Amino acid sequence: SHLHTIHPLAFRAAPQLKSVMLTDNDLSTLPVRVFSPLTMVEEIYLDGNQLEIIGPDMFEGLSGLLVLGLSRNKIRNLPSDMFDGLTNLFLLNLGRNNIKKLAPTMFHSLTKLKRLRIYHNELEVLEAGIFDRLVNLEALNLQHNQIKTIPPRVFWSLGNLRELTMSSNRLEGVPHKSFYNMPKLKKFTIYSNPLLSLPEELMGHMPYITQFYLYDTHLTTVPGNLFANMSGLQDLSFHLNDWLRYLPPDLFCCLPNLKKLSLRNNSLQDLHPNLFSMLTTLETLYLHNNKLKTLPDSIFQKLTLLVTIDLKNNNLNTLPGDIFLSNTALKALTLSGNPWDCSCTIRGFARWI
């Protein structure tokens, strides 16, 4: 409605209001305590305005508030006690603002909060203890910030979390055991971070995650047990990591449901003979756009359900004649873009073709 001001007494006459929607206006300031007559209010939406500063007592006393939307504004700073007393809040949306810092006690009243959205801001650090009281939180969205480091155990109270998104930040590493105690997690993103290495013991049990992407990092390798607790994975895309050269032999040890594995566009040079030996349910395997020079004879032996394999754009000269002998379900094999050496060494493989 292009509203750019609200009268300080605008809500005096309507103390029974439950929902206030001021979304997509041109508000750049709000009068002091303008909402305070609304003792029964449950939802306040201020998303999509021009707010830069919000007074510390703006939401004081609104203990019945369930939803507070402040996304798509120009907020830089939030007073540390701004949400104190909002003990019933279940959704807080701070996404798409210019927030650089959040005080460590900022969310400590919000013990019923289920969704906390802080995506697309300018956060550089997460303070230790900041999420400690959010024991009911189900979704935490932190993607597209400038977060460089996270303190140890910062997520450890979040045992009810279903969704944690932290892609597109500036993380170069994460502390040991950071993602422990989230057994209900269904969606987890950490791609597009300049990760240099990951610690041994990072992921706790997260059996409900079926899809996981790890791409656009600076990883050269990863610990062998990285995916060991992600036993429900069906689709793993560990691709587009320019620096990734080496995969430990037991990396895919514990993925009894995996159907699709993409390792394309990494810098893999050789693969351990047992790398895929536990992936008996695998149907699709992408290895294209790597630097593979040779492949061990038995590398695909246990993949009896494999339907598609892509090996294009590698450095393969030849392949063992019996490399695909046990892949009886195979329907599509791509071999183009390799410097095949058409001498006697390739005879066995040519015969198989």
Q: Which residues of the chain form contacts with ligand NAG (CB under 6 A)?
A: 180, 201, 203-205, 225, 228-229, 240, 265, 289, 313
Q: How far is the CB of 201 from ligand NAG (least distance, A)?
A: 4
- Report the alpha-carbon distance of residue 316 to residue 268 in Å, rounded: 12
Which CB atom, from 70 or from 316, has the smaller least distance to ligand NAG?
Answer: 316
Which CB atom, from 130 or from 228, has the smaller least distance to ligand NAG?
Answer: 228
Q: How far is the CB of 126 from ligand NAG (least distance, A)?
A: 21
Q: How far is the CB of 182 from ligand NAG (least distance, A)?
A: 9
Q: DSSP state, 294?
A: -
List of residues 6+ apart from 2 with CB closer than 8 A = 25, 26
Give residue 156's identity as a one-letter amino acid code. W
Q: How far is the CB of 224 from ligand NAG (least distance, A)?
A: 9
By beta-carbon distance, which residue lies closest to ligand NAG? Answer: 204
Which CB atom, from 265 or from 294, has the smaller least distance to ligand NAG?
Answer: 265
Which CB atom, from 34 or from 268, has the smaller least distance to ligand NAG?
Answer: 268
- Report the alpha-carbon distance of residue 96 to residue 74 in Å, rounded: 8
Count of other CB atoms within 10 angstroms of residue 113:
25
Q: How far is the CB of 289 from ligand NAG (least distance, A)?
A: 4
Q: DSSP state, 140?
A: E
* Contact (CB, 8 A) for 232 and 256: no
Give residue 2's identity as a one-letter amino acid code. H
Which CB atom, from 157 or from 225, has the smaller least distance to ligand NAG?
Answer: 225
- Beta bridge partner(s), residue 92: 68, 116
Cα-to-chain-centroid distance, residue 278: 26
Which CB atom, from 133 or from 205, has the smaller least distance to ligand NAG?
Answer: 205
Which CB atom, from 139 or from 228, has the smaller least distance to ligand NAG?
Answer: 228
Q: How far is the CB of 313 from ligand NAG (least distance, A)?
A: 5
Reduced to 3 states (helix: H, G, I; strand: E, B; else coil), residue 348 is: helix
Q: How far is the CB of 341 from ligand NAG (least distance, A)?
A: 21
- Report the alpha-carbon distance of residue 285 to residue 275 in Å, rounded: 12
* Pairing label, strands 163-165, 139-141: parallel
